[in-house]
Amino acid sequence: MKKDKVFEKPILKQFEFDEEVASVFDDMLNRSIPFYDEMLNLTTSFALKYCSEKSIIYDLGCSTASTLINIAHKSKLKDLELIGIDNSDAMLERAGQKSKAYGLDIKLVNDDIFNVELKKSSVIISNYTLQFIRPLQREKLIKKIYDSLEEGGVFIFSEKVISDDKILNKLMIDEYYEFKKKKGYSEFEIAQKREALENVLIPYTYEENKKMIKDVGFKQFDCLFKWVNFATFIAIK
């Protein structure tokens, strides 16, 4: 796995999922998202609880397809249809390489999520993707997800979250930066990435995420996992 050194040099642009990021993305995830493997395994476990033979599972913003690959490895069901959607050529190239290396049949769609007509599915996953979508468009996407799920289907998503309390929010950010330092990132790299993500990553509070989900009609909303300002949610239609 190639080591993430993207922010060791001064940034020249806002953050984007280009070739440079894609080439180190798996390392970036493991060193930037607390308990990433646990989140991945929880997502997989709960996704499979809502599937049966020939169920369709979507991963929106699938990046290098780690989630779908994990599901394929752990599922005992036959003929699951696994579909990953992303608009980054570089990410999907690596997703295809990884899927091929494992001998897995994962369909990869290179397009904007809003342009893709979603088939009726049992599970839709979106890990750390919604936060990169502008709020007005984000709510439209949630409605699209709801409409495309079968009755009783689930939407599982992970997001960086913020607190309404400014002091607590600052303490959470500080705790997260300490986590990144322990993972080997320098203060310079942390500052560079923070600047690159300014106005690109727009997080919601827990309550804002809940309201967005409930407003489109989901019957249930709950939190599967939370570490400081990172959370994994589940919504049931």
Residue 11 pLDDT grade (very low, low, confident, very high; cuts 50, 70, 90): low
Q: Is the pLDDT confidence value at 181 over 80?
A: yes
Angle in degrees, CA 31, 36, 37, rounded to 5 = 120
pLDDT, average across residues 195-214: 88
pLDDT of residue 22: 47
Tell the CATH superfamily of the 16-162+203-236 domain. Vaccinia Virus protein VP39 (3.40.50.150)
pLDDT of residue 32: 82
Question: Residue ranges of the alpha helices (H) in the chain?
Answer: 19-22, 25-32, 36-49, 66-74, 89-102, 135-148, 166-182, 187-197, 206-215
CA distance 109 to 120: 16
| Domains in the chain: boundaries | 16-162+203-236
Q: Is the pLDDT confidence value at 10 over 80?
A: no
Q: Is the pLDDT confidence value at 29 over 80?
A: no
Instruction: Check: CB of residue 44 under 8 Å from CB of residue 123.
Output: no
DSSP state of 217: T
Q: Is the dihedral of CA 191, 202, 205, 34 positive or negative?
A: negative
Cα 8 from chain centre = 24
pLDDT 10s digits, 85-136:
999 888 898 899 989 999 999 999 999 999 999 999 999 999 999 999 999 8
pLDDT 10s digits, 127-179:
999 999 999 899 999 999 999 999 999 999 999 999 999 999 999 999 999 99
